[in-house]
Amino acid sequence: ERLGVALVGLGYYSTDLLAPALQLTKNCYLAGIVTGTPAKAETWKKKYNIPDKNIYSYDTFDQIANNPDIDVVYVVLPPSMHREYVVRAAKAGKHVWCEKPMAPTVKDCEAMIKACADNKQSLAIGYRCQHDPNTQAFMKLAKEKTLGKVKLITCAAGYNEGRVGHWKLNKALGGGVMGDMGVYAIQGARLAAGEEPMLVTAQHINNRPELFKEVDETTLYQFHFPSGAIANCTSSFGINTNFLKVNYEKGFLHMDPFSAYKGNKGTYTNGEINFPLDNQQAKQMDEDATSIMQKQPMLAPGEEGMRDIRIVESIYEAARTGKAVKI
Ligand code: NAD
């Protein structure tokens, strides 16, 4: 038995990554779509053989409650819209997958977690990297203290975002580099440390004020961990970068890239990390579908998404006040 997935929001990530991955999954398949654009509905219907009864607009979305073909609703909208659609999906009695970042605020995350719990539905965040064996390998180095304690983490994730009018440049829609991309380097630091940061300092740098009028373009931030480990991170909408470095008591790790769709790899004191992976998103969705079918906890549940959003809020506060902020 396979779970039927409905994608909500047919933008770049749904079109280029998730729908193709759902052609490779074994435990779930693309059963339905939710879109505000009738032309997209037409194209997707033909391309993926989606029956009319499984095609919804944002207005008819709640009727999905009566559709037994749909087991999971996957919310792939701009971040400011995640809360509304996660809550509506949970109320419709569907399990929910929600793209990163979970939402703009911790308050939103709490409401999303509560709605899923109240309606007895699973909630997973689209943290594809946590399903990648290359990520799991560096998590293991921290957990097993293979090279001793973690001392210093350096992590950066960014690309050149310059699309005028895009939601990533719009504060109200959940844009800003920390609001959108920020969770990658935060995840890199947290997962490589194997513990949670307790103190953060942060700085914004805006090299293109004409473009980044209301949101951050590049943000630098530093974490202090309870063990004494420290992290120095960069999230950027202006710099193409993707790496993670860790200095341990007795060695090093260097992943480059560490959070790409494919090809994550690295070297460390004792050898290489380079696990093959056919399709990261397919693995993510298959594993999350299995967890639902077996009534197991999700690998990256809402609580995990919320941890990062709490840190994002602290980073914005630290950058605004110039002070160290306790998390
Ligand atoms: P996108 O702009 O390409 O697509 C957004 C979709 O939302 C579009 O179909 C658009 O029509 C729809 N939409 C509905 N109401 C809208 C409104 N008021 N304003 C703007 N768009 C509206 O964005 P995307 O890159 O596909 O990102 C969607 C989500 O997926 C975001 O949360 C993003 O962070 C996430 N994402 C995740 C990954 C990943 O690797 N996990 C990669 C890319 C994007």
Number of domains in the chain: 2
Domain boundary among the residues 83, 104, 125 is at 125
Residue 183 lies in a domain: yes
Enclosing H/E stretch for 146: none
The answer to whether residue 231 scores a pLDDT higher than 90 is yes
For residues 109 and 33, state if they share a domain: yes
Q: Which amino acid is at 155?
A: C
Please count the other Cβ atoms lying within 10 Å of the Cβ belonging to residue 48: 17
44/134 same-domain check:
no
Instruction: Decide: 167 in ligand 1 pocket, CB within 6 A.
Output: yes
Closest ligand 1 atom to residue 10 Cα is 9
Residue 62 has pLDDT above 90, yes or no: yes
Q: Decide: 77 in ligand 1 pocket, CB within 6 A.
A: yes
Do residue 172 and residue 222 come from a single domain?
yes
Considering the domain architecture, whether residues 35 and 119 belong to the same structural domain is answered as: yes
Let me know whether 216 and 265 are in one domain.
yes
Q: In this predicted model, what pLDDT tens digit does every residue of 148-182 receive, in sequence order? A: 999 999 999 999 999 999 999 999 999 999 999 99
CATH number at 194 reads 3.30.360.10
In a domain, 300, yes or no: no
Q: Which residue, 59, 90, 125, sits at the end of a domain?
A: 125
Atom of ligand 1 nearest to the CA of 126: 41
Q: Catalogue the active-site residues.
A: 100, 184
Per-residue model confidence as pLDDT tens digits over 250-277: 999 999 999 999 999 999 999 999 999 9
Q: Is the ipTM of this complex over 0.85?
A: yes
Q: What does the pLDDT look like over 95-142, one tens digit per residue?
A: 999 999 999 999 999 999 999 999 999 999 999 999 999 999 999 999
Within a domain: 289: no
Q: Does pLDDT of 300 surpass 90?
A: yes
- Could you tell me if 134 and 271 lie in one domain? yes
From the number of C-beta atoms within 10 Å of its C-beta (0-12, 13-18, 19+), residue 51 rates as exposed
Residues 69 and 39 reside in one and the same domain: yes
Question: Does any ligand 1 atom lie closer than 6 A to the CB of residue 180?
Answer: yes
User: Which of 75, 110, 125 corresponds to the end of one domain?
Assistant: 125
> CA quadruple 164, 97, 233, 262: dihedral positive or negative?
negative
Q: Does the beta carbon of 318 sit less than 6 angstroms from any atom of ligand 1?
A: no
Do both 50 and 96 map to the same domain?
A: yes
As beta bridge partners, residue 199 has 224, 326
List the domain range (segments joined by +) for residue 20: 3-125
Joined tokens for residue 242: 């993707």
Ligand 1 center to residue 79 CA distance, Å?
Answer: 8
Asked whether 182 lines ligand 1 (CB < 6 A), one says no
Cis amide leading into 257 (omega within 30)? yes
- The answer to the question of residue 291 being in a domain is no
CB 90 within 8 A of CB 115: yes
Between the CA of 9 and the centroid of ligand 1 the distance, in Å, is 7
Cβ atoms of 75 and 82 closer than 8 Å = yes
* Pairwise CA distance, residues 20 & 22, whole Å: 5
Please tell me whether residues 170 and 312 are part of one structural domain.
Answer: yes
Provide the pLDDT for residue 135.
98
Cis omega before residue 101 (within 30°)?
A: yes
Six token digits for residue 232: 């120095």
- Atom from ligand 1 closest to the CA of residue 13: 26
User: Is residue 158 in some structural domain?
Assistant: yes
179 and 138, same structural domain? yes
Q: Do residue 56 and residue 115 come from a single domain? A: yes
DSSP code per residue over 40-100: HHHHHHHHHT--GGGEE-TTTGGGGGG-TT--EEEE-S-GGGHHHHHHHHHHTT-EEEEPS
Question: Does residue 146 lie in a domain region?
Answer: yes
> Could you read off the pLDDT of 315-324 as tens digits, one per residue?
999 999 999 9
Position 243 pLDDT exceeds 90: yes
Q: How far apart are CA 327 and CA 310, in angstroms?
A: 7
Q: 260 CB under 6 A from ligand 1?
A: no
Distance (Å, whole) CA 168 – CA 147: 39
The pLDDT tens digits of the residues spanning 176-208 come to: 999 999 999 999 999 999 999 999 999 999 999
3-class SS string, 288-326:
HHHHHHCCCCCCCEHHHHHHHHHHHHHHHHHHHHCCCEE
Whether residues 133 and 98 share a domain: the answer is no
Measured in Å, residue 14 CA sits from the centre of ligand 1 at: 8
Burial 109-119 (b: 16+ CB within 10 A, else e): bbbbbebbeeb
CB of 194 shorter than 6 A to ligand 1 = no
The secondary structure element, H or E, covering residue 153 is strand 150-158
Q: Do residues 177 and 217 lie in contact, with contact meaning Cβ atoms separated by under 8 Å? A: yes
Ligand 1 site-directed mutation target among 76, 171, 237, most atoms within 8 Å of CB: 76
State what percent of residues in the chain have pLDDT above 70.
Answer: 100
pLDDT value at residue 245? 98
Position 292 in a domain: no
1, pLDDT greater than 90: no
**Atom in ligand 1 nearest the alpha carbon of residue 180:** 34
Strand (E) or helix (H) holding 168 = none
